[in-house]
Amino acid sequence: MRSIIPIGPFHPLQDEPENFVLTVEGETVVDIDANIGYIHKGIELLAQQKTYDQVVFLVERICGICSITHTVCFCNAVEDLLQVDIPPRAKYIRTILGEIERIHSHLLWAGLAGHFIGYNTIFMWTWKYREPILDMMEYLTGNRQSCGMLKVGGVRRDLDDSKFPELLKTLDELEPKMQMLAEAVQDDPVLKARLGGVGILTKKDAIDYCVVGPTARASGIDIDVRRDESYAAYSDLDWDVVLLSSGDVYAKFLVRVLEIIESIKILRQAAQKIPAGNFLLKIKEIPPGEGIGRYEAPRGEDIHYIRSNGSNYPERVKVRAPSYMNIPSFYASCIGQQIADVTITLASVDPCYSCTERMISAKDLTTHKKWQQQDLIKLSTQKTLSISKALGIEHDLPRLRKLLQ
């Protein structure tokens, strides 16, 4: 029996409303098609009608979670066009803001991923840990999200040096909890059985579909723009690229948790090493030419292409967010999966969650039964429960719960 299950266009797993059409045979997915464009905001066209200073604010609003990502990436592109080197203090400030963003983005994803497989303890605790990080962003910049700090040639406002001890204190509190989460994820047999071998993206498929970021690093591709392009202050700091090879959802989960620990390491060094001095370069005019900016967003490589005609307005701004390359990899990773695993496989590349509308419906063509989002999550949770019963272990990370009390 072949039936078609549409997921979306409004769905909590996608950054934009997207429509996935799954063709299933019994429980197995045999085909997948994706439709996008429901929230096309025309930002690229709009950017051609704004000055370079205004475009910085415009690209900040591409995504709620990646507000630092797109602004730094745009500034990198214009600075590549101008061939200027920004002051070291500005580089460190960009590093600090970017890493804070990475931590809260990964924590958000880990929580939602936990929720989709029925591990609500992970969901509750990671979102609780996320709060102090967002508060720290507000303490440093004045806003939890979209802080308007970036400007071509440096940063718009300086950070107060007297605020860094508080940042270090927050990191000290966060680090043992993240170590514990990493250990709990690696030790828990149910989690390993539930996520291991699910939604495998092989290295060959990952290269062919040109995926980026944690999705690529979980499939054994050694790329990280922070190291390869060495923008901002990353080349001065001591940190490692997290690399795993199995390519399943479990590896993607683990890569993100381990990356949080690396980010804490980067932040701690940056807060101690940040030099004093000027934080903004004066840019007089933008000559004709073209520039490419790259940035390692929490979800992968972000890239902006800019062409200037010498006027105050850019001729063309091309924005490519990481999910644009990661989402088509579903064509390779979803086919052959069970419906119960599709929810977590679709979520595993972390398509970002700026949309607040939450609706999912699935229609069985033969019985006209409509499946809601709760039904799909219930299917996913039931699978976790049956695995934990088979293994004879209480599910929902008993070890983590015990450690946290």
Partner 1 sequence: MVKNVIENFINRLEKEYKLRLEHQQPSEKRIYIRVPREYLIELAKIIFKDMKAKFCIASAIDIREGFEVLYHFSFDKEGFICTLRTLAPRDDPTLDSLVSVIPGTTWIEREIYDIMGVKFKGHPNLKRLLKADSLDENEYPFRKDFDIAKYKEKHGIAPKIDSSSAER
Residues that bind partner 1 in the complex, under the rule CB under 8 A = 36-37, 40, 42, 44-45, 80, 83, 207-212, 222-223, 228-230, 289-292, 294, 301, 303, 305, 307, 315-316, 318, 320, 324-325, 328, 331
Q: Which is nearer to partner 1, 350 or 396 (CB)?
A: 350
Q: What distance in Å separates the CA atoms of residue 308 and residue 122, rounded to the nearest whole number?
A: 47
Q: Is 83 exposed, middle or buried (0-12, 13-18, 19+ CB in 10 A)?
A: exposed
Q: Which is nearer to partner 1, 35 or 386 (CB)?
A: 35
Q: Which is nearer to partner 1, 183 or 205 (CB)?
A: 205
Nearest-approach distance from CB 219 to partner 1, in angstroms: 13
Q: Which is nearer to partner 1, 61 or 320 (CB)?
A: 320
Nearest-approach distance from CB 24 to partner 1, in angstroms: 21
Q: Which is nearer to partner 1, 46 or 391 (CB)?
A: 46
C-beta of residue 20 within 8 angstroms of C-beta of residue 369: no
Strand partners, 290: 307
Nearest-approach distance from CB 225 to partner 1, in angstroms: 8
Nearest-approach distance from CB 150 to partner 1, in angstroms: 21
Q: Which is nearer to partner 1, 304 or 383 (CB)?
A: 304
Nearest-approach distance from CB 157 to partner 1, in angstroms: 28
Q: Which is nearer to partner 1, 158 or 229 (CB)?
A: 229
Q: What distance in Å separates the CA atoms of residue 79 and residue 24, rounded to the nearest whole number?
A: 49
Nearest-approach distance from CB 213 to partner 1, in angstroms: 12
Within 8 A by CB and 6+ apart from 278, the residues are 87, 89, 154
Structure tokens at 70: 């797109």
Backbone angles phi, psi at 225, to 5 degrees: -60, -30
The vertex-340 CA angle with 3 and 333, nearest 5°, equals: 85
DSSP string, 62-75: S-STTHHHHHHHHH
Q: Which is nearer to partner 1, 263 or 326 (CB)?
A: 326
Alpha helices (H) in 210-282, listed in sequence order = 213-218, 225-228, 249-273
Nearest-approach distance from CB 118 to partner 1, in angstroms: 32
Query: How many Å from the N-terminal Cα to the C-terminal Cα in the chain?
Result: 48
In the DSSP assignment, the letter for residue 329 is G
Q: Which is nearer to partner 1, 216 or 340 (CB)?
A: 216
Q: What distance in Å separates the CA atoms of residue 338 and residue 252, rounded to the nearest whole number?
A: 19
C-beta of residue 49 within 8 angstroms of C-beta of residue 56: no
Nearest-approach distance from CB 292 to partner 1, in angstroms: 6
Nearest-approach distance from CB 403 to partner 1, in angstroms: 38
Q: What distance in Å separates the CA atoms of residue 259 and residue 275, rounded to the nearest whole number?
A: 25
Structure tokens at 298: 């929490």
The pairing of strands 28-35 and 150-151 is: unpaired
